[in-house]
Structure 1
C-alpha cells in the first residue's frame, strides 16, 4: 500500500487533485491518502516513513519553506499541472453586502478584494467549513457549496477552475541532478508546432 499525504480538510482541492493524480497513474486502488492541516507535519511524516509521498500545490505559501527546510531528506520527485475544483466567491444569503472575505492567501488575486477585510484560511476547503459554521460572511471557495446549500449561500462572483502546478515529494532523489521532463508532453508538442509554423 502506498501512503500519500496532502492538505485537508476532507473535500479540499488538494484531496481532489491527489485523487486525480492517483487515478492517472492507476494506483488509486493501492494508495491511501491522509489529510493534514500543516505541511510541516506531512513532510516530517514522509521523512520518518509514516507516509511515502507528499502532494502540495506549488503556489501554497509554505511551498518554499518545505522545499528549502527539508531539502536533504525530502525530494521533489514529480511535478504536474491540474485544474482545480470550480471556485467562486460564495456569500451567505443573509448578508447583503459583505465587508470581509475568507480565502486561502494564494487565491487572493483571483478576485478584486479592494475594500474588504481579508481573513486568511489554511485551505479553500477550510473556507467552506467556516462558511458552513457561520464564521464568515463571504469566502472564496468551491462553487459546489452554493449549489449544495442554495437556501444558505449565493454566488457573487465566478472564478471557475484554475490550472495550478503541483509537486510530489518523496524520500529518494530521482532526478540525479538532471532535467526531468517529458518530450512528448502537451508543452513539448506545442513547442514543436510553433517551430513548424515559424519554419513555414
Structure 2
C-alpha cells in the first residue's frame, strides 16, 4: 500500500489540465474500514494537502459525528476522491473531478483494503461511477433512496456549504438520512 500511495501522490497523468498543477490528495490504509469517496480537492485542500480540510470536511464530520482524530486515522477511514487533484474553478464553483484518476487508481487502492465495511459515495460523480445504472435520475432521488444501496454503499450529497439551500429544501435528509448514517458508522467504529 505504501508504494501505491507514493505512486499516486507522484501522479502527473492529467497535469496539462490542472491550472494549479498536480497535488494528489488522499489517505488510505490496508486496514481502512470506512471508505469515503468524494469529488475532488478544493483550493484549500490543494494548499494544505489534507483531505477534507475545509468547511465541507467540517460538515461531513458533523454528519458522521466523528472527531478529526478518528476521521484522519487511515486505519479507520480512507479518504479517496474521484479526482485526486484540484481541478480549478468553473463558472459556478469548482470544475468537475478529472476523469483519469478513478479508472487509473481506485481499483488498485480498493483491492488492497480487505476490511472495508462501508463505502460512502459523496456527490453525483462518485454515485454515477460506482452505482452505474442503479443511480436515480437526480442526486436527490438517489439520496432519498439511500437504503437501496446499503449495506455496501451509503449515498450522500456533497457537504459543501453551497448545498445549504438543498438541505433546507430537503429536511428529510437531516431527519432521516443523517441519523441512519451515524448509526451505520457507529456500528463500525
Q: Give the TM-score normalised by the residue count of structure 1.
A: 0.28
Q: Give the TM-score normalised by the residue count of structure 2.
A: 0.29
Structure showing greater Rg: 1
Larger strand fraction of residues: 1
Larger helix fraction of residues: 2
